[in-house]
Amino acid sequence: MLSITDIYTLYLTHSVICTDTRNITENCIFFCLKGENFNGNTFAHQALENGASFVIVDEKEYVLNNKCIYVKNSLDTLQKLAQCHRAHLNIPIIGITGSNGKTTTKELINTILSSQYNVFATYGNLNNHIGVPLSLLSINKDVEIAIIEMGANHPHEIAFLCSLALPTMGLITNIGKAHLEGFHTINTIIETKTALYKSVKQRNGQLFVNNDDSLLLNYAYGSLLITYGKNNKADYKGELLSDELFCKVLLPTTNTIISTQLIGNYNFYNIMAAIAVGRYFNISLQNIQTSLATYKPTNSRSQILYIGTNTIILDAYNANPSSMEVALYNFASLKSKNKIIILGDMKELGIASEEEHQQIVNLINKLDFSEVFLVGPEFKKTHNQGMQIFESYEEASTFISLKKPQDSMILIKGSRTMKMERFLEII
């Protein structure tokens, strides 16, 4: 059985790691991982046929030849290999986590820093116990700064991911109600997320903290801090400027206006966080302006789409009570005679699901929308007034397609598993 050191030697000459046979590249190392409904070992032969140089298996019967390396646990080996590679990296590693906005903030920081540095940033949301190791193993010798996004849906997960990434800098966007099914309480979420601060503190690293968030400030106390926000005491102070649709920020100390293509006032702190990191790395304000002005959200993250006479805000990548609330408040503040919301269930809320969905319905009742369409079994359980509620996408799409909304502004939002982007096909 090869040691991690031996496998790392192989990695140095075969530095592409694959875990999906659909994405095999020539001369890669393929790790046979297991899931609830699959056994990656069964794909060992296919991986070799598709061009992999070596496969890592953890069941002896799948050792087909000398290109198959047997280990006790393939996932554990992948994680230890990532740790080994991280130990050889001597670059800033920025760890980012939070209940909402972490992927957007990561993308904004990446956009800004890439104007001057060779930057690696987590692809998509590969931010879990598999994604973080894969991200670390994608950092090559040309990278000058790495941005590693970390997600969590159960206690202690951020601490574990930090043990792999060893971040030298840290940023928590916020702490709210997300993945309650796994965490059960908000205190557990706080403890899990703030493990990033503890990890960075251990290395006397730099934290970037929202100065308007007393909770985060309290947990960051005693660290090297750079702060941002609306508060005059912040190292980087910003003011939110009114705009019909997109978020715009004024930096009063330099009288600089930052224009963006980001929808929603809730993106203010994501923007300010990115500015703070950019200035720390000596990115000029002009480059920051240009970077943020040209960045356009993709992948169903607060995308603006124009379909016929309708303006669509597609925010269907994910949803939790915190993000749903700010999205609704923001949408209600926009100027439009005909505002329609199409919301899907929020998942992974556990025993809190019924209460949290009811609270969203109660909030909707307080706000001014022309029409409300709620989709999913969790929303179906709620008590409401004058709202159209459907058990499934099929029911909702049939009804909404007959309505044929025109000259409307439409918010579409829900958890990833609800696949709310499907409604674009019928609007």
Q: What is the pLDDT of residues 364-405, one digit of tens each?
A: 999 989 999 999 999 999 998 778 999 999 999 999 988 888
Q: Rounded to an integer, what distance in angstroms lies between the CA atom of residue 98 and that of residue 150?
A: 8
Q: What is the pLDDT of residues 49-72, one digit of tens each?
A: 999 999 999 999 999 999 999 999
Helix extents (H) in 114-155: 131-136
pLDDT on residue 183: 65
Smallest CA-to-CA distance from 349 within 222, 182, 158 is with 182
pLDDT on residue 365: 93
Angle between helices 268-280 and 285-294 (to 10 degrees): 140
Q: Where residue 319 falls among pLDDT bands split at 50, 70, 90? A: confident
pLDDT on residue 181: 60
Please, what are the domains in the chain? 4-80 (3.40.1390.10), 89-294 (3.40.1190.10), 303-425 (3.90.190.20)
The three-point CA angle 98-169-231 to 5° equals 65
Residues of the chain with pLDDT > 70: what percent?
98
Between 317 and 108, name the one with better pLDDT.
108
Q: What is the pLDDT of residues 332-360, one digit of tens each?
A: 988 888 999 999 999 988 888 999 999 99
Q: Rounded to an integer, what distance in angstroms lies between the CA atom of residue 343 and that of residue 267?
A: 20
Question: What is the arithmetic mean of pLDDT over 276-289?
Answer: 98
Q: Are strands 256-263 and 246-251 parallel, antiparallel or unpaired?
A: antiparallel
Q: Rounded to an integer, what distance in angstroms lies between the CA atom of residue 349 and that of residue 321?
A: 9
| Range in 270-274, 287-291, 352-356 with the lowest mean pLDDT | 352-356
pLDDT on residue 154: 81
Residue type, 320: N
Q: What is the pLDDT of residues 299-315, one digit of tens each?
A: 777 788 999 999 999 99
Give me the chain's average pLDDT, please: 93
Q: Are strands 256-263 and 236-237 parallel, antiparallel or unpaired?
A: unpaired
Q: Please compute, for residue 99, the number of CA atoms within 13 A of its CA located in the half-sphere on the CB side.
A: 25
pLDDT on residue 182: 61
Per-residue tokens: 284: 């000029």
What one-character DSSP code corresponds to residue 34?
B
* pLDDT value at 31 more than 70: yes
Q: What is the pLDDT of residues 163-213, one digit of tens each?
A: 999 999 999 999 876 656 666 688 888 999 999 999 999 999 999 999 999
Q: What is the pLDDT of residues 136-169, one digit of tens each?
A: 999 999 999 999 999 988 889 999 999 999 999 9
pLDDT on residue 215: 94
* pLDDT value at 244 more than 80: no
